[in-house]
Amino acid sequence: MQLHIEQLEQNISCVRPVGRLDSDGSAAIKDQLTSMADAGRRIIIELTEVDYISSIGIRTLIMASQSAGSSGGKLVLMSPRPAVADVLHTARINYIIPVCGDLTQATRAVLG
């Protein structure tokens, strides 16, 4: 899994993982994502290029969200593909991490 990071205005990082967010994918991005979350960053994770997410991938996102929140930051998810959105919905992730449809919504959520 690859991880592309773009710095946006207002101290927001837009993180775009590419590939499968399974055990291998989670291991590949966990340290970098945790480092950003521990620094209290505002993080938008764009899921447009994630074609699969497993329970380990969900756990990685939840742990990063909790870490960001504990450090004064926030993490939101944006634009999951339909199959990934179904998994997130079934797991009720939207009760833990905001799931937004576009960058405007995600920016509002991560700032609010």
pLDDT, tens digit, 9 for 90 and up, residues 17-69: 999 999 999 999 999 999 999 999 999 999 999 999 999 999 999 999 999 99
Sorting pLDDT into bands at 50, 70 and 90, what band is 74?
Answer: very high
pTM to 2 decimals? Answer: 0.95
pLDDT (average), residues 79-100: 97
| 112, part of any domain | no
Domains identified in the chain, total number = 1
Distances in Å between the Cα of 112 and the Cα atoms of 1, 51, 79, 80 are: 30, 28, 18, 21
| 110, part of any domain | no
- Residue 15's domain comprises 2-105
CATH number at residue 14: 3.30.750.24
| 6, part of any domain | yes
The answer to whether 20 and 51 have CB atoms below 8 angstroms apart is yes
